[in-house]
Structure 1
Amino acid sequence: MSQRELLAALQQEGEARIAALWQEAEMEAEALRAENAGRLEALETGMRAALEEEKEEARRPILAQAAATVQRLTLAAEERVAQRLRTLAEEHLPQLRTGPYAETFAALVAELPAAAWARVALHPDDREKGASSFPGALLRSDPAIAGGVEVETAGGEIRVVNTLDKRLERAWPELLPVLMKEVRRALDRPGTAEKR
């Protein structure tokens, strides 16, 4: 083998080795790229999951605070509505004096226990009815009494308040839930929000 042939053979062998090394390096690089792409995908997936978890962690107290605020505002609004309903009911008591009020007055007097009533407080318009129902008693006009009577024995040992105001006061704990239910039902009707 001549020197030229030897050089050509060595060059060919070197080129083959270089090509093999390049091919091996490219295969390793491709394997590393695939491995890194998998790692990167796993890292991105983990980061997305961690971010979602952090968002959920941050969201929970905000939602809890919002729910508490809604509940507080709802209770405050319901309290204002309840107070307004009570005021309206009290304002409408004088309207009960119209129509068959004479029968209502007589019924309220008839409910009183039998006693020698010495003092009677009543609405000024009820003095005539009071005089016939309580002959000999001291009648005191009180425009704050919407209807009915407050009676007391001479010594003050027995006192009975049987007025429309007192009736409303006693019945209010039972009336209020019924009224609030009606208010809620009215607010829940379709189209109610547009009317507010």
Structure 2
Amino acid sequence: MPNTKIDRSLIRTNCRVISSPLEPIYANLASVDPQSPIVVENLGAAYCKLGQRFNINTGAQNIENNSYLVVQITIPANWGKTLYFDKIQAGTSGTSVVDIIAASATTTDVITPVNTNLGSANTTLLTAGYAVTDTNPATNNPLLTFILVNGTYESNFEGEIIIPSTTAVQNYIIRVSNTGTENATCMATFSWWEV
């Protein structure tokens, strides 16, 4: 190997190489040097380790045609935290449309959010629930819509939808609409972290 002289005046120390949950690096990094690889951790996994990632799941529900499976999260006023969407998963045995909508409150059965760090005692102040209904729970424009035909779908947001705390109660729903001509078995799961 040739003797290479490095101009050390061009090298600057970067004291902030490591990402933290309060100041995350929103980038995928790669290294072409096998001697010094760069490892980047998924943000959801990082917040899970901190006990700040939560999950709700409806389980399988029978939905009549032209009816809805509604998952609602309610964020209390002056919560003081910010919610970051991690994942939404949905499944159907028929044809469904899945929406995320900012909406008014609807009546639901309670789902207790689960901390995905099973060793953490942290809980969330968010409340959640689900309902099966033949009444459309929201007519607002959706933040996101996707079509699902006899299968499952997963949308990984990894913090790309952010809901800050406000002085008012906020309600968001995930609406799974059975648009088929027959009954369908549907489910929905929502994961988030909060800081």
Q: Same fold (TM over 0.5)?
A: no
Larger radius of gyration: 1
Structure 2 length as normaliser, TM-score?
0.20
Structure 1 length as normaliser, TM-score?
0.20
Q: Whose strand proportion is higher, 1 or 2?
A: 2
Q: Whose helix proportion is higher, 1 or 2?
A: 1
